[in-house]
Structure 1
Amino acid sequence: MTDKTILIAGTYDTKDDELLYLADVIRGQGGGVLTMDVSVLGDPSRPTDISKHAVAEAGGSSIQAAIDSGDENVAMQIMARGAAAKALELYRAGRIDGVIVLGGTMGTDLALDLCAALPLGVPKYVVSTVSFSPLLPPERIPADVQMILWAGGLYGLNSICKASLSQAAGAVLGAARSVEPPKRDRPLIGMTSFGKTVLRYMVALKPALEARGFEVAVFHATGMGGRAFESLAAEGAFAAVMDFAPQEVANHLFGGLSAGEDRMTAAGRAGIPQLVAPGCYDLVDFVGWQPAPAPLAGRPTHAHNRLLTSAVLELEERRQVARAICGKLAGATAPVALMLPRGGCNEWDRPGADLHDAEGLAAFCDEITAQVPEAVELHALDAHINDAEFCAAVLAVFDRWVAEGIVRA
């Protein structure tokens, strides 16, 4: 008997040996295997558990249609849709406990869709010739995916690529055996923030919310954290969100570390109550070891470390961010409270601090006030976002929403 079953997906017409090797390693460690063929033109050396025809049908098409398209990109997108649908179907049926996908650029493109279809907590491993490459946009990388470079393995098995393949096989089976999935035994609050040097509200809010019977997950809003936050919001995982660090909106507008165009929209679409504040609205994060993006050249900056640097937005750009935030909140289908701390929105913009800009802050606050959607509660606070008064105001709104049944306790 086997304890955990791993789905192995790949193009079995061209990578049969490598995929069979993965299966042998997993079985050799006592795991179970289900195989999925996502190839189009050729056939595997032996039948797979999920055939390429079943995958194409799950994608709303057929292998013949993929062939007739005459376009490998179109064909692979058909297979990607089908592979994602089949993987989710298998997981929901309790037939798989994790997944490993093998590929070059084509297979990796498909792998990202397949892994994104599975919930957070399901072990996902991608063995790819382009792991960690800038070819992979952050908005397409699932929140908890693991990747390893498929070194020296583009065509055929050898001792170099076996080192990567065997690690991946052991890792995904080990993860499936040891993972502790989210319990969901308490209502969950999703919160965005940064480290305590710049935003500190989570230090007070997390224990206060936990004392009220809620679980709190704080997401580091530097691109991938925002993606994870949006993904869980889209699933309806949160009882409420406290999106107090929407800096990724500005990042997307001005070429920084984007979490995607849909940042700050999933909770609203899913009908999740939102408390929102503009923490670090005035900063755009970029890769610290690269030159600043062209639109940000010549700005004052703050270097967090050798990886991450933030540039300061100018006055009109701050107004643009205010309009973008208000535009995203306009689509919400559940109550929204916008907390506006007029005393400042990050530790570095306090009076006397390096990035203080009273005129820019006033312009942003005025634009928010002018553009805020009618259905959004606006709470203008004579406080800084890191002051105790901010947390008190947040908890006052939250407690009222719990009492009114807006947030389910």
Structure 2
Amino acid sequence: MTSVVLIGTCDTKLDELLFLRDAIHNSNPATQVSLIDVGRQPVEHEAIFTTQKELLKEYGQVRKVDKLPRGEVIKFMAECATKLVKKLFEGRRIHGIISAGGSGGTSLASIVMREALPIGFPKLIVSTVASGETGTIVAETDITLMYSVVDVAGLNQVLRNVLSNAGAAMAGMAAAYASRMKSQSSSTKKRVAITMFGVTTPAVDVIRKHLEYNYNIETYVFHATGHGGKAMERLIREGGLDAVLDLTTTEICDHLTGGVMSAGPARLDAALEAGIPSIISVGATDMTNFGPKATVPEKYQDRLLYEHNPMVTLMRTSKEEAAAVGEFITRKVKSSMERGIMTEVWLPKGGISMISVPDGPFADPEADSALFETIKKGLADTAVRVVEDERAINDPDFAHDIAEALVAQMDLSN
């Protein structure tokens, strides 16, 4: 038997949640559905597995939240539900989680899913805001969103169809997850993360194929789009990766200059904190990412811009910004050394991206030199190995050598 958690606000969405519960049962009668009430007002119903009162008493040590502002209610109920769902997951008692609601319910459910459950566990939200900007909902996780089309406010044929589809999807995902948990044998392959951007793809392809063909390694390629870097670092913290070849650290540029693909100030921290084998390079740090050209901030309109595609405009990193990227990397590496954790930094001086090679549209020797010199000087009096290489980052031989350097850190043999 599989078990699914259904989380929702029973004081406002009970009929819709009960329909969704039945949709899951109809798709797979062997699925047990546990409804957790996270509403503002308490509701009594035989279908509720954990009532609002029980949730507050057990995990919040309070009796009522109805006097709190709406935003505070969402945060508090999410905190309580996270504790319960985490307990159920750690006890191997659940195989999927689903919710349905508006913006408030979506916010609440997404917090629970992000905080309590790992990547790979089935998570689905039927939401009125699933067709808009969803980055804050999904973040770096694998939450599946299904647009409700109409509001989750009274059953009608459109909503019944959507909820029926969602119920069938969750029943299938939960059954598949339960089956995997029973049959999945632990792999002996080492799990290696590689960061990639379009302008470093040739190098990543060489690295990936070399590692997987020659060693007992499975590679995980992360697109350095902001959420990609965050997803990698989340997996590291969950214990899901054994080593990192952080070839493409372009997200640092976006963090420092206000681009749209920032992974935040904690970029690089996870691997260094975990102490797993890692190599840091400076792939695609010649650019900050913005949307269509018209969306580039006015203060950057006179800069060197490159239209990567109609949806992405790249801005060439200046000499000062390049030095700031170098300082960011140096600071993180030095901080890790204080905890006894070491890494390597590789500098491909022949071009840090496909378009910054000599005669490329982003060729800027002064900016690149500022980046390299900042890192070299910052780490000069340390035991960190800084590798200066005259080749470009996408040179196949460079890709081969940096891959072998990571293998040496991992102490692998053919």
Relative to the length of structure 1, the TM-score reads 0.90
Code of the residue aligned with 1:247 in structure 2: it is T
- Is this contact kept in 1: 2:333–2:343, CA < 8 A? yes
State the shift of 1:45 in Å.
3.6
Q: Where in structure 2 are the equivalents of 1:180-259 lying within 5 Å?
A: 185=187, 186-195=189-198, 197-210=199-212, 211-256=214-259, 257-259=261-263
Instruction: Tell whether 2:393 aligns with 1:385.
Output: yes
State the shift of 1:27 in Å.
0.4
State the shift of 1:99 in Å.
0.8
- Is this contact kept in 1: 2:2–2:174, CA < 8 A? yes
State the secondary structure of the residue aligned to 2:289: strand
State the shift of 1:146 in Å.
0.8
Q: Where in structure 2 are the equivalents of 1:296-335 lying within 5 Å?
A: 296-332=300-336, 333=339, 334-335=341-342
Q: Which moved more, 1:288-297 or 1:374-383?
A: 288-297
Instruction: Tell whether 2:137 aligns with 1:134.
Output: no
Code of the residue aligned with 2:109 in structure 1: it is A
Mark the CA change 1:136 to 1:240 in structure 2 (over 3 Å): closer, same or farther. Answer: closer
Counterpart CA distance in 1 for 2:108 and 2:8 is 9
**Residue matched to 2:19:** 21
**Residue matched to 2:266:** 262
Code of the residue aligned with 1:282 in structure 2: it is D
Counterpart CA distance in 2 for 1:170 and 1:79 is 27
Counterpart CA distance in 1 for 2:151 and 2:352 is 49
State the shift of 1:226 in Å.
1.7
**Residue matched to 2:154:** 156
- Is this contact kept in 1: 2:278–2:406, CA < 8 A? no
State the secondary structure of the residue aligned to 2:170: helix
Code of the residue aligned with 2:391 in structure 1: it is A
- Is this contact kept in 2: 1:127–1:168, CA < 8 A? yes
- Is this contact kept in 2: 1:38–1:52, CA < 8 A? yes
Q: Which runs of 5+ in 1 are unaligned?
A: none
Code of the residue aligned with 2:286 in structure 1: it is D
- Is this contact kept in 2: 1:233–1:270, CA < 8 A? yes
Counterpart CA distance in 1 for 2:74 and 2:362 is 48
State the shift of 1:217 in Å.
0.7
**Residue matched to 1:71:** 69
State the shift of 1:107 in Å.
1.3
CA offsets per residue over residues 323-381 of structure 1, 9 Å max, x none? 12222333335321111111221010010111111111111111111223835321121
- Is this contact kept in 2: 1:40–1:63, CA < 8 A? no
State the shift of 1:301 in Å.
2.5
CA offsets per residue over residues 240-271 of structure 1, 9 Å max, x none? 11111111121122222222332221122222
Code of the residue aligned with 2:309 in structure 1: it is N
CA offsets per residue over residues 256-295 of structure 1, 9 Å max, x none? 2222332221122222222110100121122237511345
**Residue matched to 2:170:** 172
State the secondary structure of the residue aligned to 1:310: strand
Q: Where in structure 2 are the equivalents of 1:2-41 lying within 5 Å?
A: 3-30=1-28, 31-41=31-41
Mark the CA change 1:358 to 1:187 in structure 2 (over 3 Å): closer, same or farther. Answer: same
Aligned residues: 400
State the secondary structure of the residue aligned to 2:87: helix
- Picking from 336, 339, 354, the partner of 2:343 is 336
State the shift of 1:190 in Å.
1.0
State the secondary structure of the residue aligned to 1:348: coil
Mark the CA change 1:161 to 1:329 in structure 2 (over 3 Å): closer, same or farther. Answer: farther
Higher helix share: 2
Q: Which runs of 5+ in 2 are unaligned?
A: none
State the shift of 1:105 in Å.
1.9
State the shift of 1:81 in Å.
1.6
State the shift of 1:135 in Å.
6.6
Q: Where in structure 2 are the equivalents of 1:75-94 lying within 5 Å?
A: 75-94=73-92
Mark the CA change 1:329 to 1:86 in structure 2 (over 3 Å): closer, same or farther. Answer: farther
Counterpart CA distance in 2 for 1:408 and 1:13 is 60
- Is this contact kept in 2: 1:279–1:385, CA < 8 A? yes
Q: Runs of 4+ in structure 1 displaced over 4 angstroms?
A: 57-61, 179-184
State the secondary structure of the residue aligned to 1:236: coil
CA offsets per residue over residues 97-138 of structure 1, 9 Å max, x none? 111122222212212211112111111111112114337437
State the secondary structure of the residue aligned to 1:244: strand
State the secondary structure of the residue aligned to 1:241: strand
Relative to the length of structure 2, the TM-score reads 0.89
Code of the residue aligned with 2:308 in structure 1: it is H
Counterpart CA distance in 1 for 2:256 and 2:57 is 38
- Is this contact kept in 2: 1:251–1:258, CA < 8 A? yes
Counterpart CA distance in 1 for 2:335 and 2:12 is 46
Instruction: Tell whether 2:342 aligns with 1:348.
Output: no
**Residue matched to 2:378:** 371
- Is this contact kept in 1: 2:280–2:343, CA < 8 A? yes
Counterpart CA distance in 2 for 1:290 and 1:363 is 29
